[in-house]
Structure 1
């Protein structure tokens, strides 16, 4: 366990450093989108391309990994939405609560962390999970979030917006290009390869630092919103504070993310193997640990864009990130 903690501690320490830097003002809030853009559009795509190009194409097309991960994602989304709807939530908040429960922080955190623990072969199953989360899970939850609208074309419009977001997201393209490079055994010119390597190497520390900064910004903006809403109510401006999320709601979604999701993936994987689905034990171990990661930090920005309670989503992300410092090493020890 001490060995696992020695590997995971620096990753969480970088998240804490980013949180502290933004919270105390050393990192201006206006600089956070620039950090996020660097990771999303430059560093992380280069990392994904390198791992995709270096992996055998058969591992990137592992149907067993896709079947288990995709089916578990759908189950988590369905269960979380159902629980939220029974509590009286609108579709918008229920859908983004489901997304934050089913979408782990694989790109910014999982790739560097699991490769440090399990080695480079862990990248291939993670690339498959990232692709499914970007294409399947996100699109489904965005479409569900539009069911509140009176416009009958709301879900269709949301589906088009989700498709546009996928096309504009560089990560799926990096995965596709890496797979093509692997299939064709493409060798890039030396200077191009070294440039991609340098950007890919920068992805891990900058991404982790950015996660902490994004969490701090969400907390500061939520506090400012509550303060301005109280002033608006006192002045009779009609501005009202958002209803605070109940701790039971936050705790249940966090528990689904950190406990139910990995156990479901483990059970589904063992069941698939028993039914004859070709699935390597090492790939199942990677999927279980991916499911045990905290929620993806970009879900809060998506929730804000679509008018959901982004403060609730940000708190869930913060709770799962803090709790994962203790739960993730236990998951690694259990899987290993």
Structure 2
């Protein structure tokens, strides 16, 4: 248990430091967004290019892992959508956003620092493959359903094309493509370029955690705690269990990578969840859910680490 605390405590201390910095007025919301933009635009792509570009393509893309992580995430999405739509009586847009919250992890800002601290270098490969699943499958699926429910935007196909157009401009996706291209072509990154890439990669994890904490300050949550509780619980419990079940069904996956995938699924939902929900009038619900999931993840992540054997001795 001491080892588990040593892994989780620095992560949540950095989140708390970001929260205190925002609460104390050291950073305003625009400055926090600026730091987040730096992480997404420069630091995280550099981390992906460094990791993927210095590994063989066989080590970088593991078909079984991609299949299992996608399948587990789809199971969580389907369960959340069904409960939201037919048990709680939410509309199509709300159900789609709720399902996205339960099935899409914050792989970059929380998942990567967590898995890197617990397991080490496989964290980058897990992050890259997880982000492919999230950005190319889960988020487009949710947003298309939400837009169809809103009956705006010219229909599902037009929305899907718009989403994928934006994804091609996403720095994280560009970083994955560049890293995979360097690996596939066997290009060695020159030392003159590798050094700044390495320096940028090194600041991605601490800055990401700091931004998460600062972003949590001032979130509004008016009368939506019941919704927040069940969505957050599903994200922190149902999604990891669904991913674990999928890994058990797909043969030939390295046990270490199974642990990586489950820990990524244990992370709370992405930090832009309230922003995506704002278009559909769900910003308060999404903000409350993100806040609850981030706080409770300290407990669920610790349990997951104990379950996979970290700190068991």
Is the TM-score greater than 0.5? yes
**Counterpart for residue 282 of structure 1:** 256
Could you tell me how far 1:56 is from its partner in structure 2? 2.4
Superposed CA deviations along residues 235-286 of structure 1, whole A, max 9, x for unmatched, are xxxxxxxxx32x332221111111111111111211222xxxx211111111
In the alignment, what sits opposite 1:5? Answer: 5
Which residue matches 1:292? 266
Matching residue of 2:303: 330
1:251 aligns with 2:222: no
Verify the 8 A CA contact 1:77 1:102 in the aligned structure 2. Answer: yes
Which of 260, 283, 289 lines up with 1:310 in the alignment? Answer: 283
Equivalent in the alignment of 1:113: 114
Structure 1-normalised TM-score?
0.87
Look up the match of 2:104: 103
TM-score for the superposition, normalised by structure 2 = 0.93
- Name stretches of at least 5 consecutive residues in structure 1 with no aligned partner: 227-243
Tell me, yes or no, if structure 1 residue 161 matches structure 2 residue 184: no
Residue 260 in structure 1 maps to residue 261 in structure 2: no
- 2:44 touches 2:204 (CA, 8 Å); kept in 1? yes
Q: Secondary structure at the match of 2:217?
A: helix
Segments of structure 2 that go 5 or more residues without pairing to the other structure are: none
Deviation at 1:293, TM superposition (A): 1.0
Task: Give the C-alpha shift of residue 152 in structure 1.
Answer: 8.5
Determine the C-alpha separation between the residues in 1 that align with 2:298 and 2:19: 15
Q: Say if 2:268 and 2:294, in contact at 8 Å, map to a contact too.
A: yes
Moved over 4 A (4+): none
CA deviation string 1:86-120 (max 9, x = no partner): 22222222211111111111111211221121111
Question: 2:266 aligned with 1:301, yes or no?
Answer: no
Shift of 1:150: 3.8
Structure 1 contact 257–320 (Cα < 8 Å) conserved: yes
Count the aligned residue pairs. 308
Corresponding residue number in structure 2 for 1:241: none
> Are the equivalent residues in 2 in contact too, given 1:55–1:124 (CA < 8 A)?
no
Residues 156 and 308 of structure 1: is their aligned pair in 2 closer, same or farther, counting only changes over 3 Å?
farther
Query: What does 1:1-336 align with in structure 2 at a 5 Å threshold?
Result: 1-86=1-86, 87-150=88-151, 153-217=154-218, 219=219, 222=220, 244-245=223-224, 247-273=225-251, 278-304=252-278, 306-336=279-309
Contact 1:292–1:328, Cα closer than 8 Å, also in 2: yes
State whether residues 59 and 125 of structure 1, in contact with CA within 8 Å, keep that contact through their aligned partners in structure 2: no
Structure-1 separation of matches of 2:281 and 2:156: 15
**CA distance in structure 1 between the partners assigned to 2:256 and 2:200 by the alignment:** 28
**C-alpha distance after superposition, 1:23-64 (max 9, x if no partner):** 232211221221111011011111111111123211222110
Distance 1:165 1:321 in 2: 27
